[in-house]
Each structure stands twice: as C-alpha cells, then as structure tokens.
Structure 1
Amino acid sequence: MKDILRPIGIIARSLDSIANIEFKKFDLTRGQYLYLVRIAENPGIIQERLIELIKVDRATVTRAIQKLSRAGLITRQADETNLKIKHLYLTPAGQAIYPEIKRENDYSNQVALQGLTTAETQVLHELLTKVSTNVAADWEQVKKGQQRPY
C-alpha cells in the first residue's frame, strides 16, 4: 500500500509554515488564522462546533479563542437562552484582516492545483473528502477514549 499520508503531511506543514510567516504581520501565531477563518465562515459558531471543524482538543481551541479575543480579533457573545454558551464573531479588526487570509488560501489552492485539469481537481477533491471522512471518524473514536485496532 502506498503511503499517502506522508505527502498530505508535507503539504499541510508547508502551507502552515508559509501562512505562519505571512501572517506574522497580523500578530497571528501558529494556526490562529485557521480559527479566524472558521469563525468568519460561520458567524456565531460555538466552541464545540469549532472543535469538530478543526479537529483539535478543547484546550487548544480554548487557548486560541482566548488569544484571538485578547488580540481584539474575535468577540464572545452569550447565548440568549443559555448563558454558558458563547457565540464567536469576528470584530471589525478581525473582519479587516480576513480578506487577506482568504486571498492567501485561494492562492495556495491555485498553486497546489497547478497542472491539474478540472476533472482531476474534482476527483482529487472527492478522494480527499473520503480520506478526511475516514480519518475524522477515527478521530472521534479516539477522542472518546477508544483504542484503535492496529
């Protein structure tokens, strides 16, 4: 069987490294831009949904939210019916930098897909979506404390 995770990891680490360098001007540290993007795409998202989207643990999301909030890029608003639930929104400062983060993402996609036909791009998307779904299911089980059968 081919090791498909190695090139996926290389792609992910390379793009993450590029983004971390390019977003230093916004004072965003490792990966915080990802949280900013997901909140921009899902205004009013709650922390639990953010955990599911990004596939990280609660403590990591909590730290990122606190840092982005202290930086004035996001705001937490209490739910009207359950004050324990906090909805996340971009502040005007967060909204101001989101377009540049989106442009970087669009450009990275363009570079990554160079030389692929529209049909190849579609097939790649479908296959990676399947792989992502498989890994996400495993992530859910491990997150709940189950051991994977190696």
Structure 2
Amino acid sequence: MQERRKRERAFAERLAPVSRSWRQLADDALSSLGISNSSGWALVHLLRLGKTVRQSELARVVGVTEPSLVRTLNLLEGAGLVARIADETDRRAKHLSLTADGEALAARIDTRLNTLRAGLLDGITDADLETTVAVLDRIAARVAESSSKP
C-alpha cells in the first residue's frame, strides 16, 4: 500500500508542472506568430469548434468567463478575423464565426500547435497515449463529480 501512495504522490506532483510547461510552450508558439495568447486560443478553438459557435460555448472551451472574452473578441473583430452574428431567437446571445483571414491565421496556429504536440509526444506509443488519455478522463470525471457535491 505504501508503494501505491508513493506512485499517487509522484503522479500528482508531476501533473500540474507538466501541464504548466506544456501550456507555456504553446503560448510561446502563439507569440512566435505575433499573436497574443488570448487571441490565439480563441481563434484556434473557433477553428476546432466549427462554422458558427455561440460566444458562451467559446468562453467555456477557452476556460474564461464571457465578460473576459469580450475584449479579445472586440480586438479580433476589429482586426477582421472574427464576425459576430446576432442570435435570431435570443437577442442577448451572439454567434461567432471566423472570417477568411481569421480561418487562415487559425489554421497556421493549429499547424504550429500540432507540430509542438507531435514533438512532445514523439516516441510515446499509441498504447501509452491511449492509457494516459483514459486515466486523465477518469480523473477529470472524478474532479467534476467532487466539484458538484455540496
């Protein structure tokens, strides 16, 4: 049992630093393209989510509140990278879509992030990746379950 606790501790101690370091490398990749982190992540998530996305959905995926996202969207819209579309059924809601220029930049960002990810995961077997993803999914579900308990 003592060995199990050591492995659990080792896992927990590595998880956050690896996540932070990975995110820093990704942020550096965005910076190398001349785009801010907030704008870059908004663009790439819009690309991955599809044609038209509710502003609230983008905020959820990016991991920020809607008001926090508004400034970034204002900048992206002003730069001609994102278009806001009013929701016909809910005047308060906005839908977002990438313009042609926004899609081109988002594709460049996505390519850069794919290259980074491929380099970091080089030499790790498909089986190890599959197991790691499954373990992280189970932990995420338990965290969500714990967070929802009163």
TM-score tier, shorter chain, comes to 0.7 to 0.9
Alignment of 1:1-150 (within 5 A): 1-2=8-9, 4-24=11-31, 26-42=33-49, 43-136=51-144, 141=148
Question: Which consecutive segments of 4 or more residues in structure 1 shift more than 6 A?
Answer: none
Aligned counterparts of 1:61 and 1:69: Cα–Cα separation in 2:
12
Aligned counterparts of 1:64 and 1:5: Cα–Cα separation in 2:
33
Q: Percent identity?
A: 23
Structure 2 counterpart SS, 1:119:
helix
Structure 1 counterpart SS, 2:9:
coil
CA contact (8 A) 1:20 1:31 kept: no
Q: Which runs of 5+ in 2 are unaligned?
A: 1-7
Tell me the number of residue pairs that the alignment of Structure 1 and Structure 2 aligns: 142
**Residues 138 and 26 of structure 1, relative CA distance in 2, 3 Å threshold:** farther
Deviations 1:9-31 (A, max 9, x none): 33333333333333335442123
Bigger drift between 56-65 and 94-103 goes to 56-65
Structure number having the greater helix percentage: 2
Aligned counterparts of 1:3 and 1:124: Cα–Cα separation in 2:
15
TM superposition score normalised by structure 1 = 0.76
CA contact (8 A) 1:20 1:28 kept: no
Aligned counterparts of 1:114 and 1:25: Cα–Cα separation in 2:
22
CA contact (8 A) 2:47 2:107 kept: no
Bigger drift between 60-69 and 35-44 goes to 60-69
Structure with more relative contact order (C-alpha pairs < 8 Å, separation 6 or more): 2
Structure 2 counterpart SS, 1:84:
coil
TM superposition score normalised by structure 2 = 0.76
